Amino acid sequence: MSEKTININIPVLARVEGEGALDLRIANNEIEHLRLRIFEPPRFFEKLLEAKHYSDVPDIVARICGICPVAYQMSAVSAFESLFALDPGEWVHRMRRLFYCGEWIESHALHIHLLAAPDFLGFENAADMSLHFPEQVKRGLRLQHAGNQILQFLGGRAVHPVGVKVGGFFHAPNLVQAKQLLGALQACLDDAQDLLVWLLSLDLPGEASDFTQVALKSEHSYDFIGRHLHTNLGFDCSIEDFATHFKETHETHSTALYSLLNSSDYLVGPLARLNLNHHLLPQPVKQLIQTYGFQLPNQNMFNSIIARGIELYFALAEAINILQNYEHTQYPSVNVKVKAGQAFGCSEAPRGILWHSYEIDDDGYVRHARIVPPTSQNQARMQADLQQGLTQFGLDRPENELRLHAEQIIRNYDPCISCATHFLNLNLARV
Amino acid sequence: MKTLIVALGSPYGDDAIAWLCLDFLRQQSGLGLDYVLFKSKGNGLDWMQALASVDQLIFMDAVIGDKELGKIHLLRESALPTQASMFQSSSHQIPLDQSINIARNLGYLSKHARVWILSIEIKRDSRLVLNANKQKQVFSQVWSMISPLR
């Protein structure tokens, strides 16, 4: 048999966070070897948290990621407050919801307009896209800025915000600031609706496939923070039982851990959330989805960009709703009484569930910390999706098309490899 | 000539040096009203908010170099490393060369506006922000480099 080996090297996988590579060997038009390698050095954040006081944790974990610091802060504070049997009150709960809306808006706006859309419109990058779709890119920047304004409102700054504490917030913004922010967000609502219409008009690739999906479970609203998880297979568990069912394993080719649910890969993130929890969306958002005919649940992973658009619209409308009823308080936080024990917290980062666990001593110091970010949870699913997606795409396609499609599949998950432990080197051997 | 000076950085360690330089410039009465000073907080796009009919754009940033702590390199836009020649420093964000192109393509930045980069050298194993004398030298150098660009 004649043997032909072709090597493709992509020095930079643009538009994802982190460093990784893909090895692909095709023999007789079948994938013989496929391995998503993450080689970014481990960052040891969990070890850094040991011996730190619980009150320092929200500011430390916020620095794990520049895109989803709120998620890290919310998972942490909800863990401690659950252990300390502390309810910070209705004002804090509403403001945390507003804060989280800001993070979803800025993260989804960035990914849709500057990271993912160039793929579906045939551009190398957002700069090239901005020449041909200037209004869409301007819209993306406006929406991202709106999200960042919410983060500044409660967190003092958009990147690595510092306003959060266990028990609430360090300060309550005044009514003038709230009114200004409300006006800025209301001015963006048409942008969010136009975005959704535009996303639904895109010619997206992909086919429906079966995969396990996991999201937070709640009873009454489309929530950001919660105590229970559920799947599309009928399984559910409390976040305290997460480690019993979700097992992390180390693979030699990856510095990020692989997380499996009952030994199988699974999806977390916007599409999983929407598929599992769309019945909890507010009626105006449901109405909008119905008006434009988007079917839920939806099993085409490439529709994740539409799921992000829907969540962005939801988050903006929700933020406006919260701010319309904003009241200033003299007491933006409650006092904390430390209790030793095991603390568990979980919230829906823009990319999916972010689970935290802390062992706390009598004085409130962290003895042990464990953080399971969404990208490591999606890593096995990404690899399975690559296997299936590239086969469906056609393994006899030219190398540059295979490489681009592989990149699109990976970018579609909006992976944050830096959180999980940055580019893709695709090494293709075709025999 | 209207100039926007963007300090890229954060409050942390030597990454703060460009912000400190901007604070120094803010105190210089000789700078004049034609200068707009902006602290970018690291998402690669926020500086576009401060663009309004500028003729000149100057970025200041800390870079890890192998010459001398606090040494300043004045670079033209064409000297910026492109995505194809470097690993992205933060790939969820937009590389500087791309964000400048986006600003031009969207009409936020004039096609004729000049772009400069003031790179301030830092080292992995030293702390420029803790060395008052070095900092004074850096501020003085920044001032002497920006002045001829008016």
Using a CB-CB cut-off of 8 Å, the residues of chain B touching A134 are 105-107
Q: Which of B10, B45, B83 comes nearest A12 by C-beta?
A: B83
Candidates A9, A59, A111, A130, partner chain B, best to mutate (most B CBs within 10 A): A130
Q: Give the domain extent around A351.
A: 45-376
Residue range A94-144, pLDDT digits in tens: 999 999 999 999 999 999 998 889 889 999 888 899 999 999 999 999 999
Convert the pLDDT of each residue in A277-291 to its tens digit.
Answer: 999 999 999 999 999
Identity of residue A400: N
| pLDDT tens digits, one per residue of B65-112 | 888 889 998 888 887 765 444 444 443 457 788 888 899 999 889 888
Count of A–B CB contacts within 8 Å?
74
Residue A242 has pLDDT above 50, yes or no: yes
What are the pLDDT digits (tens) for A145-203?
A: 999 999 999 999 888 899 999 999 999 999 999 999 999 999 999 999 999 999 999 99
Q: In what order do the strands lie in the sheet with B114-122?
A: B35-40, B3-8, B56-64, B114-122, B72-76
Distance from the A422 Cα atom to the nearest Cα atom in chain B, whole angstroms: 7
The pLDDT score that the predictor gives to residue A92 is 98
Return the minimum-mean-pLDDT range out of A34-43, A151-160, B27-36: A34-43
pLDDT value of residue B84:
42
Q: Domain boundaries in chain B?
A: 3-149
ipTM score of complex: 0.81
Does position A16 have pLDDT exceeding 60, yes or no? no
- At residue A366, the 3 state secondary structure works out as strand
Residue B52 pLDDT > 80, yes or no?
no
Name the residue among A11, A125, A158 with its Cβ closest to that of B98: A125
The domain B3-149 belongs to what CATH superfamily?
Answer: HybD-like (3.40.50.1450)
What value, to the nearest 5°, has the Cα angle with vertex A79 and ends A76 and A85?
140
**pLDDT exceeding 90 applies to what percent of chain A?**
68
Whether residue A57 has pLDDT greater than 90? yes
Residue A315 near residue A105, CB atoms below 8 Å: yes
Could you say which of B92, B98, B105 has the minimum Cβ distance to residue A17?
Answer: B92
Distance from CA of B74 to the nearest CA of A (A): 25
Residue A12: list chain B partners with CB under 8 A: 83-84, 87-88
CA pair distance A33, A35, nearest whole angstrom: 7
The answer to whether the beta carbons of residues A371 and A360 sit under 8 Å apart is no
**Contacts with A160 from chain B: Cβ below 8 Å:** 10
Q: Can you give the CATH number for the domain in which A333 is found? A: 1.10.645.10
Query: How many domains does chain A contain in total?
Result: 1
How far is the C-alpha of A25 from the C-alpha of A43, rounded, in Å? 30
Give B125 to chain A, closest Cα distance, Å: 19
- Evaluate whether residue A39 is within a structural domain: no
Interface contact flag, A159 B90, Cβ < 8 Å: no
Contact at CB, A141 and B45, closer than 8 angstroms: yes
CB contact under 8 A, B102 and A137: yes
DSSP result, A4-56:
-------S--TTSBS-EEEEEEEETTEEEEEEEEE-SPP--HHHHHTT-BGGG
pTM for the model: 0.90
Can you tell me the distance from the alpha carbon of A286 to that of A274, in angstroms, rounded to the nearest whole number?
11
Q: What is the pLDDT of residue B89?
A: 41
| Confidence band of B30 (pLDDT split at 50, 70, 90) | confident
